[in-house]
Structure 1
Amino acid sequence: MSEEAFHIMTQMDLEGAETQAVLQCAPLLTGIKMSNLLHVREGQQREVASMFEATPVSSRILYKKNGRISVFLYREQRLKRFLSVGKVRRLLDSFGYRGMELPEILSRLSDRYQRHMDGRGEFPHEIGLLLGYPPEDVSGFIENGGKNFLCSGYWKVYKDPARARRIFDGYDRAREAAIRMAGNGTGIRDIIKYTS
């Protein structure tokens, strides 16, 4: 992160839902990523929902407990297209999502994520697909138990680290741009509007 972006960030309300959305989800906000997870306080649920009203970003609560929530934010059409790609669809089907459309997929993911977070089930590795990670990296993570990766950043990479590093660099640039915009008083809706 540049010195300028870091300085701007130190002036922001780090507890605010909008700041957390900028810090955690900049690649999604700027249109280069199709989905993201946002973790905020439960009392910020309405604020998060209102931030994304009348934008191309949809939201779904995946987990709620002990005053915290995990919100899955996504660009619906892009996510649907990605999930319909052959190798992505086949891997998603192997996780038990055969024949499901996006609303059913998100409902099942939410149930599985909630069960895992409550200590009643395995981690739902399919979340990597819904976050747009390459299917070979999702399956590589599972096959290797999270070890033996070639590089890591926004996810652990098991194939094509050069491509992944380019993506990671793009995500980092998006975060810097979103921080600068937010530091200049630009709200979430306008960041989405101006950069998408």
Structure 2
Amino acid sequence: MSQKTDFDMQIANQCAPVLLGIKMSNILITDIENEKKLYRLFCFGAISVKCLSRNEDKITYLVYRKEELESYLNQKRIASFLEGLGYEKAGTREQLNQLSYRFHINRKNRMEFPHEIGVFLGYPLRDVIGFIENSGKNFLLCGYWKVYYNVEQAKQIFSYYDYAKRHIKYLVQSGVKIEWILSFYSSNRHDESETKLIAS
């Protein structure tokens, strides 16, 4: 597998639901040598990237659909939750900067990632709170996140994400470039019914 194909497959493995338009954000961890390629890939269009942390050889990014993330963070319950954790009401860009700072501090102190990252990844708020209150234990289901409520809804969403990963990986393995995938799905948005599931 070429270096280019390997990088495309990394993106497919870690960010397929965002590329397909059925999730607003994903975490991407990649080699530091891919930094310029990544910014060139996402510098235009509906999907953006935010560096959350870096070390000598790896960078952790949030890959996100700008409009959808902003809309989600502006929901009253989400905004109130973040405000309770010390996030300022200063807009999505500033909140991402605060999240990145918390990532940096936690990594410096060898602590876990900031648990409110679940909100920025679009996980149901009750599950994010359940994770925090239970210190990551006592969950009912573990998949793309640890589920404390609405197990059947979570299973359905997990199946959407599994499909996205299979589909995007198949395209990449068939020789389709990530640039084409981004262009083709750039106008995709959440199906309304799934948005309600994720936000519940």
The CA deviation at 1:120 is: 5.9
1:39 aligned to which of 29, 33, 36: 29
2:170 aligned to which of 162, 175, 180: 180
The residue number in structure 1 matching 2:151 is: 161
TM-score normalized by the length of structure 1: 0.89
Q: 1:162 to 1:74 in 2, by over 3 A?
A: same
The residue number in structure 2 matching 1:113 is: 103
The CA deviation at 1:171 is: 0.1
Residue 124, structure 1, aligned to residue 108, structure 2: no
Q: Distance in 2 between matches of 1:188 and 1:171?
A: 18
Q: Distance in 2 between matches of 1:43 and 1:83?
A: 31
Which amino acid counterpart does residue 23 of structure 1 have in structure 2? N
Q: Distance in 1 between matches of 2:131 and 2:84?
A: 15
Q: Encode CA deviations 1:56-108: one digit per residue, 9 max, x unaligned.
A: 11011111102110011111110011111121111111111131211110111
1:126–1:138: 8 Å Cα contact kept in structure 2?
yes
Q: 1:168 to 1:94 in 2, by over 3 A?
A: same
Residue 152, structure 1, aligned to residue 145, structure 2: no
1:157–1:164: 8 Å Cα contact kept in structure 2?
yes
The residue number in structure 2 matching 1:133 is: 123
Which amino acid counterpart does residue 153 of structure 1 have in structure 2? G
Q: 1:46 to 1:89 in 2, by over 3 A?
A: same
Which amino acid counterpart does residue 82 of structure 1 have in structure 2? Y
Q: Which 10-residue stretch deviates more, 149-158 or 122-131? A: 122-131
Q: What SS does the aligned partner of 2:86 have?
A: helix
The residue number in structure 1 matching 2:53 is: 63
Q: Distance in 2 between matches of 1:165 and 1:94?
A: 29
Q: Distance in 2 between matches of 1:189 and 1:89?
A: 33
The CA deviation at 1:148 is: 0.8
- Following TM superposition, the consecutive aligned residue runs of length 4 or more in structure 1 with deviations greater than 4 angstroms are 11-15
1:27–1:33: 8 Å Cα contact kept in structure 2?
yes
Q: Distance in 1 between matches of 2:44 and 2:5?
A: 24
Q: Distance in 2 between matches of 1:18 and 1:188?
A: 6
> What's the Cα RMSD here?
1.8
TM-score normalized by the length of structure 2: 0.87
1:55–1:189: 8 Å Cα contact kept in structure 2?
no
Q: What SS does the aligned partner of 1:32 have?
A: coil
Residue 98, structure 1, aligned to residue 98, structure 2: no
Which amino acid counterpart does residue 116 of structure 1 have in structure 2? N
Q: Structure 1 regions of 5+ residues with no counterpart? A: 1-10
Q: 1:89 to 1:66 in 2, by over 3 A?
A: same
The CA deviation at 1:49 is: 1.1
